[in-house]
A and B are shown apart, each in its own frame.
Chain A
Amino acid sequence: MASHGDHADGEFAHPMPIWMLLFVFVALTFLTILTVFQASFSLGNWEIWLSMIIASIKATLVMAFFMHLAFDKPFNVIMFLSSFLFVTLFVGFLLMDTNAYDDKIIVKPVAETLQ
């Protein structure tokens, strides 16, 4: 059972270095301050895109390092990222459908809709 014993003692843990954890935390804090700061300007339509891009950078940092997805098995990475693909499809199609209607059409007389 020597081979089995060797296998059991094989190291599979991948401890993250402390400097990396701290660096990720500082980066996340900085991005949070940045997104709060950019919210003080009114950028109109760009606001939602800019803050979503910053949020996605933060999410990527958390996933890659805190969740050590960068060092994980490719299968886990593909599985997890595929969920985002389906979320995009879900939200995208529903928004497309929502925007396909003309909300100017009022079927009921005005007096009723005013209630």
Chain B
Amino acid sequence: MATAEIDQDGHAHDHSDHHDHPAFLAHHFDSPEQQYDSGKLGMWLFLVTEILFFSGLFCAYAIYRSLRPEVYAFCSQFLNTELGAINTGVLLFSSLTMAWAVRAAQLEQHKVTVGMIAATISCAAIFLGVKAVEYSHKWDMGLLPAGMYSYDPVAEHHEGLSHYLIAISIVPSIVLIALIGLFIYGKAAGKQFLASCAAPLTVAAACYFVGVGLGVFLESRAAAAGHDSHAEGSALAAIGHADGLPPSKILEGPLDHATEDPPTIGIGTGDEAVGIMAADATNTGIRSELDALRAQEEMASGAFVDEYDGVDPFYDRPIENVNSNSLAGVFFSIYYCMTGLHAIHIIAGIGVLAWLLVRAVRQDFCSQYFGPVDYVGLYWHIVDLIWIYLFPLLYLIG
């Protein structure tokens, strides 16, 4: 008897009761709570894979750091701590607004939900704007991944607006113009829903340019502060040190240094050409050849026996120039992989948040159905969490 009752009950639940099911509740779930918990479990599993996915890059960072600490010491001068700190603050604030959006969705404060999601997207756009300035500044200086790395401390600065920055900003500009167009169309055609979706998104897209402005201002201020004293001197000193030359010798100018060198090495004809070629810091082949010849010369004269500095040219690893494709270049490969993958996550987050924004404007969420806001919130916090580790590792520790 009991089984028959249950069967009937289940039957009734499946069919005649269907309209009692709220629209947001998928038919294979018993209750909104079960639906929410299932979605959340799936989201946590996804976040676990994200953590493991990023840990591969942290591993690359840790291994290269343990092998070549001097490369990190040299490269950390190119990372602007101020911009990194600003971006950290922006992301932390976006985490706050995201958590607040979840709260507002749970309490059915629809206007607050929309506002908080819009604030989150705006912060993400500011973050990307600052990042665009950082990236384009590095590309201008030739601080590129291994294979393309071509940093030259002698001619490091690029004046005026970066062409790379303009290129990066093409897509945000198109998005901004399209959103403004949508907003105007929505207003003109009386499509209130379209207009109220486009308005916050337009503000968010404009925030990218706020981020760019902020980044350009801080970057130029840092350049002005570092130009006369610190940055260039330390860069040259680091290279000089790696070359085994005192910084003063490097500062005399690359051509002097090169034309002076060949006679002491004594390679005879073609000195001039080699000297001119070696003046180019990117010509690492000629440079290392000169280093080899210099080492040979020292050995031949027997001078190294008197001034033995603990580096045996036969059995010790040769002192390599840190500012090279194979050393600093690898650091920047790791840097671009870590921050680039993080930036891709931010862009993906913006996409999902825009979808949430439209749904929030439509007032889809209620105290029984706020799962999507919560899940996107969790994703957004994990992106923040990864940045919390990236910031000190890349920008602070030298």
Contact = CB atoms under 8 A, between A and B. Distances in A.
A12 B285 CA distance: 67
Given A21-B99, A94-B62, A99-B66, A106 B48 contact: no
Interface size class of B (residues with CB under 8 A): 35 or more
Contacts of A82: 48
Given A8-B368, A39-B392, A55-B389, A48 B397 contact: yes
Contacts of A110: 313-314, 318
Contact of B44 (A5, A29, A76, A87): A76
A113 B30 CA distance: 68
B48 A79 contact: yes
B33 A83 contact: no
A39 B295 CA distance: 38
Interface residues of A, number: 63
Given A51-B396, A62-B95, A76-B40, A13 B384 contact: no
- Residues of B contacting A: mostly: helix
Given A32-B89, A32-B92, A36-B81, A104 B317 contact: yes
A94 B20 CA distance: 56
Interface of B: 12-13, 17, 20, 22, 25, 30-33, 36-37, 40-41, 44-45, 47-48, 51-52, 55-56, 58-59, 62-63, 66-67, 81, 85, 88-89, 92-93, 95-96, 98-100, 102-103, 106-107, 285, 288-289, 291-292, 295, 313-318, 367-368, 370, 377-378, 381-382, 384-385, 388-389, 391-393, 396-398
Interface of A: 1, 4-5, 7-16, 18, 21-22, 24-25, 28-29, 32, 35-36, 39, 42, 47-48, 51-52, 54-55, 58-59, 62-63, 65-67, 72-73, 75-76, 79-80, 82-84, 86-87, 90-91, 94-95, 98-99, 103-104, 106, 110-111, 113-115
